[in-house]
Structure 1
Amino acid sequence: MLWENVVLFFEIMLINIVLSGDNAVVIALASKNLPAAQRKQAIWWGAFGAIGLRVVLTVVAVYVLDIPYIQGIGSLLLLWIAIKLLVDDEGHADVKVATTLGKAVGTIILADFVMSLDNVLAIAAKAQGEIGIIILGIGLSIPIIVWGSNLVVKLLKNFPVLVFLGAGILGYTAGEMFLADTNVSNRLLGDTPHFIIPLVTTVIVIASGVIKKLITPRHS
């Protein structure tokens, strides 16, 4: 049980870090025009607010997922999130650059709320109701993202395997989440071996990323 919790903790941290690459960009952009001292304060208070908000949302999501059919629907949404993580190349030109401490903190918290709904669903699905692990995993991974925002972006760019690994975990979790909703899975799967479903969803996600790489022109 202890080993399972340790593995679950690191999976939650990896999911949160991989899915928060965009958040790291927003944090860097939102505070870049502030003086050094205020920039640190903005990052600190922004991180504090983001941690509290994300923990509350995730705990709520854990209980919402117990409602019949919600997990079945959520599994499809999580599968889409995993695929989008590998194939979406949207930029961040519309991020508002703050000129005051208060505006920077507000921008960071608001951006984290809007952009973290995918994180919330993914972590709630993976955590299996372990509220303590949720809080610990989010609490430790967000400071890594915030204070090392530039480093996180560089790591995800230089080591694409981290993104693929995180997306693969999400794909597998989507399959597990689908099976957990017996109202849906028992009706649709029939005699199909259930263990196949998480493997299929993982392959779908990874294949989407590989196809994206193959069809995207490389720039010298």
Structure 2
Amino acid sequence: MANILLSGDNAVVIALASRNLPPAQQKKAIFWGSAAAIILRVVLTITAVALLTLPYLKIVGGLLLLYIGIQLLSDSGGEEHMEAKTSIWAAIRTILIADLVMSLDNVLAVAAAAQKGPEETRLLLLIIGLAMSIPLIIFGSAMLLKVMERFPIIITLGAGLLGFLAGGMLVDDPAIKDSIQAAIGDAKLAFEVVGIAIVILVGSYFKKKNAAKETH
């Protein structure tokens, strides 16, 4: 269940990254992006605990998510002028990087849930959880694309979600977690709010800047 719920983040990224592609390429980006998300989770689940104890890894991951959120929001205007700027490989590259970063946290929840079962069924539980998340990611991405076309505000909300995740990831890094928690009472919430603000404000600024360039 944890893996299925956490698949929503991946669906948001895939939809955001592929929304400017032609319909045929959108389907390919969703398929390959979803496949990449599942493969990454399989690999990272095996090494989740060791990876998440490495200092500064979450800081780097959080900064990458901030960058991706800003980039996706700044590219959300003037879709009719973006066919030369956006390619399926650029979309898949963005999906791969974002999925890699987000999966660092996601797979820990999946691994922790699997550890609660009998030892002989843990691998089976992981495989079932990952398999069940595939249709959710694919259909969730396709549904979000349609919603984004009708309600563009969803693009801003999706980018803000990446900022939220980035802020939480940054403050959870083992290299700084204890010192920041000691200095700031509710540090995680503060960083999550700041992450949302950074992505939306900076992304909106570059979105307007890009739109101004297209009009000249």
Counterpart residue identity of residue 99, structure 2 = N
Matches of 1:168 and 1:134 in 2, distance apart?
Answer: 27
Paired with 1:143 and 1:156, the residues of 2 have a C-alpha distance of 16
Gaps of 5+ in 1: 32-41, 97-106
Q: Alpha-carbon deviation of 1:173?
A: 1.6
> 1:177 and 1:125 mapped to 2: Cα distance?
8
Cα deviations by residue, 1:70-104 (Å, 9 ceiling, x for unpaired): 112211112222222211359454748xxxxxxxx
Q: 1:78 aligns with which of 62, 65, 87?
A: 65
* Displacement after TM superposition at 1:152 (Å): 4.7
**Hey, what does 2:13 align to over in structure 1?**
19
- Work out whether residues 45 and 108 of structure 2, in 8 Å CA contact, stay in contact via their aligned partners in 1: no
Q: Which amino acid aligns with 2:151?
A: F
Match status 1:28 vs 2:27: no
Contact (CA 8 Å) 1:175, 1:198: kept in 2 or not? yes
Q: Judge conservation of contact 2:13–2:95 (CA < 8 Å) in 1.
A: no
**Separation in 1 of the partners of 2:161 and 2:132?**
15
Find the aligned partners of 1:114 and 1:87 in 2 and give their Cα distance.
14
Deviation by residue 1:167-193 (Cα, 9 ceiling, x = unmatched) = 222212212111211312445676233
The root-mean-square deviation of aligned C-alpha atoms, in Å, is 4.3
Distance 1:18 1:54, change over 3 A: same
From 16, 19, 39, give the equivalent of 1:53. Answer: 39
Task: Please tell me whether the aligned partners of residues 127 and 134 of structure 1 are also in contact (alpha carbons under 8 angstroms).
Answer: no
Task: Please state if 1:121 is matched with 2:113.
Answer: no
CA distance in 1: counterparts of 2:129 and 2:71, whole angstroms: 23
Structure 2: which 5+ residue stretches go unaligned?
A: 112-125
For the Cα contact (< 8 Å) 1:14–1:166, is it kept in 2?
no
Identity %: 22
- Looking at structure 1, the residues matched to 4 and 134 of structure 2 have their Cα atoms a distance apart, in angstroms, of 11
TM-score (norm 2): 0.62
